[in-house]
């Protein structure tokens, strides 16, 4: 998740005094407004629970009123602090941090705690209406949906709630997976846009786990509805003969056989993103990106209108980052963001092992860049658990004790051929197995070059660590 504090506001307090509010954005959308004193209180609480050596340094108090320059410096420091806490496996998963964000979200949106109905969509368009409290967190809402559907407790972790946006043409864009630090009712209500919905969808990538879910009637129906929906959207590639076989199985009501046939089809289980722009193999290329099967798949339209396809395996991504910047939009002319309308420009960039002696940066410019990053991280987490002999069932249970433990010596898998790259510049890799540090996401920096590898800008990919020449 991308945390930023792009702006501050001067707001009025209850007694008529004014204070500075720091607007915390998640994925480029306002999540909450908080005061410096509130963040300081959170900091002190985490220090008591985890110790000063674990919690990042906090911007110091000032005796006198801050100057504009000092206020800007504090904003930047608080932004880095929030990013560091969120990215830390222990602090970012702590109840202290997440409950702080949930409470702040509710207070900012001014939605009182009360009973309410919430619509949860299934993949086939059917809606499940659940009775909740407006202050219920994501996990509570997921369990309420499962209870309403009669989905067994042991299968709840196989599914997640996603925020989506439906277009007037029937298109569906995945905005993000709802996180433990947010209140689903508040998140969707505060958008004040009927195009946004919460949908239930499976949360794992390896189709081998479909068997666990299909053994249950409700799980089977959910997977079947998702598979039918993905085929109808064109997310799964189906030829005429396969379409006839699927249609015959549908008519017979053979749901398991339908899913098993679909599992053999190209792009089964993938999430398809909206059209975006990439710099690979050339700058300014239009691309359709899909995530699944431990890879990002590219359908690229070159400037000469030729279409090429290629895949980037997560095991060959050394690291990745998400950057955001403010882009002015005012009648197509450049206007300072302080005086005109702006939109957030998001980019996902990953450093990829093109061959055993060459790393190259690939960038995707897309409003869904953070959702792509979340998909990459969850694929890596799942892959590492599987390679270390862990249990997917254990991975999918509630994680009150922090994030997943990643093994330090894992073998990478081979990647299929990629698009031919026109870039002849070769960057030597000294030692591919060098361990990478766990790092954070932040807003756009002064340098976007591939040589700018300062620790606080990147997600290190643990699945990359064990890769060697034999894997290439």
Burial status of residue 198 (CB atoms within 10 A of its CB: 0-12, 13-18, 19 or more): buried
pLDDT tens readout for residues 57-111? 999 998 888 899 999 999 999 999 999 998 888 999 999 999 999 999 999 999 9
What span, in angstroms and rounded, lies between the C-alpha atoms of 66 and 69? Answer: 8
Average pLDDT, the chain: 82
Q: What is the mean pLDDT of residues 163-183?
A: 88
Q: Which pLDDT band holds residue 297 (cuts at 50, 70, 90)? A: very high
Indicate if the pLDDT at residue 404 is higher than 90. no
Closest CA to 136 of 102, 183, 93: 183
36-50 vs 68-87: helix axis angle to the nearest 10?
Answer: 40
Cβ 33 vs Cβ 9: under 8 Å = yes
Which two tokens mark 190?
């505060």
Indicate if the pLDDT at residue 12 is higher than 70. yes
Burial status of residue 189 (CB atoms within 10 A of its CB: 0-12, 13-18, 19 or more): middle
Indicate if the pLDDT at residue 412 is higher than 90. no
Q: What is the mean pLDDT of residues 144-154?
A: 95
CA dist 22 to 11, 34, 75, 85, 406, Å?
10, 5, 7, 16, 34
Per the listing, tokens 């860049």 go with 369
Mean pLDDT is highest, among 9-13, 195-199, 342-346, for 195-199
Q: Which pLDDT band holds residue 394 (cuts at 50, 70, 90)? A: low
* First-last CA distance in the chain: 31
Indicate if the pLDDT at residue 290 is higher than 90. yes
Question: What sections of 323-465 are H helices per DSSP?
Answer: 369-387, 392-395
> What pLDDT, on a 0 to 100 scale, did the predictor assign at position 453?
38
> What pLDDT, on a 0 to 100 scale, did the predictor assign at position 58?
96
pLDDT tens readout for residues 233-267? 999 999 999 999 999 999 999 999 999 999 999 99
Closest CA to 224 of 246, 245, 204, 241: 246
Q: How many CB atoms lie within 10 A of CB 203?
A: 16
pLDDT tens readout for residues 312-337? 999 999 999 988 776 666 554 443 45
């Amino acid at each position: 998740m991308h945390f930023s504090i792009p702006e501050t506001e001067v707001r009025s307090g209850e007694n008529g005094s004014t204070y500075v509010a720091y607007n915390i954005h998640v994925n480029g959308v306002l999540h909450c407004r908080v005061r410096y004193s509130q963040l300081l209180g959170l900091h002190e609480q985490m220090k008591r629970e985890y110790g000063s050596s674990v919690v990042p340094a906090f911007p110091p108090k000032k005796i006198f009123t801050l100057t504009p320059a000092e206020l800007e410096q504090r904003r930047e420091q608080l932004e880095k602090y929030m990013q560091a806490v969120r990215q830390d496996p222990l602090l970012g998963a702590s109840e202290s941090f997440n409950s702080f964000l949930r409470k702040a979200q509710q207070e900012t949106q001014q939605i009182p705690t009360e009973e309410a109905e919430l619509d949860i969509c299934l993949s086939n368009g059917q809606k499940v209406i659940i009775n909740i409290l407006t202050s219920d967190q994501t996990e509570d809402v997921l369990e309420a949906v499962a209870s309403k559907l009669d989905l067994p407790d042991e299968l709840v972790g196989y599914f997640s709630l996603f925020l989506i946006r439906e277009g007037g043409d029937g298109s569906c864009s995945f905005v993000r997976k709802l996180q433990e630090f947010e209140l689903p009712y508040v998140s969707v209500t505060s958008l004040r846009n009927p195009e946004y919905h919460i949908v239930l969808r499976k949360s794992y990538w390896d189709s081998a786990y479909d068997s666990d879910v299909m053994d249950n009637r409700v799980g089977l129906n959910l997977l079947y509805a998702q598979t039918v929906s993905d085929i109808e959207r064109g997310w799964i590639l189906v030829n005429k003969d396969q379409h006839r076989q699927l249609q015959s199985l549908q008519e017979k009501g053979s749901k398991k056989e339908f899913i098993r046939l679909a599992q053999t089809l190209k792009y089964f289980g993938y999430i398809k993103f909206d059209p975006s722009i990439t710099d690979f193999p050339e700058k300014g290329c239009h691309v359709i990106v899909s995530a699944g099967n431990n890879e990002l798949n590219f359908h690229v339209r070159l400037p000469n209108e030729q279409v090429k396809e290629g895949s980037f395996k997560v095991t060959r991504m050394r690291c990745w980052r998400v950057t955001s910047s403010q882009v002015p939009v005012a009648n197509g002319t450049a206007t300072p963001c302080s005086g005109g309308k702006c939109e957030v420009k998001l980019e996902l960039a990953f450093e990829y092992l093109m061959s055993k002696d060459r790393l190259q940066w690939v960038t995707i410019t897309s409003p869904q860049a953070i959702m792509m990053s979340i998909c990459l991280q969850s694929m890596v987490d799942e892959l590492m658990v599987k390679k270390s002999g862990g249990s997917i069932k254990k991975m999918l249970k509630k994680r009150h004790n922090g994030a997943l433990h990643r093994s330090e010596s894992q073998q990478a898998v081979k990647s299929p051929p990629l698009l031919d790259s026109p870039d002849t510049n070769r960057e030597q890799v000294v030692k591919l197995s060098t361990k990478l540090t766990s790092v954070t996401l932040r807003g756009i920096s002064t340098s976007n070059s591939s040589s700018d590898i300062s620790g606080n800008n990147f997600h290190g990919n643990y699945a990359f660590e064990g890769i060697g020449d034999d894997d290439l």
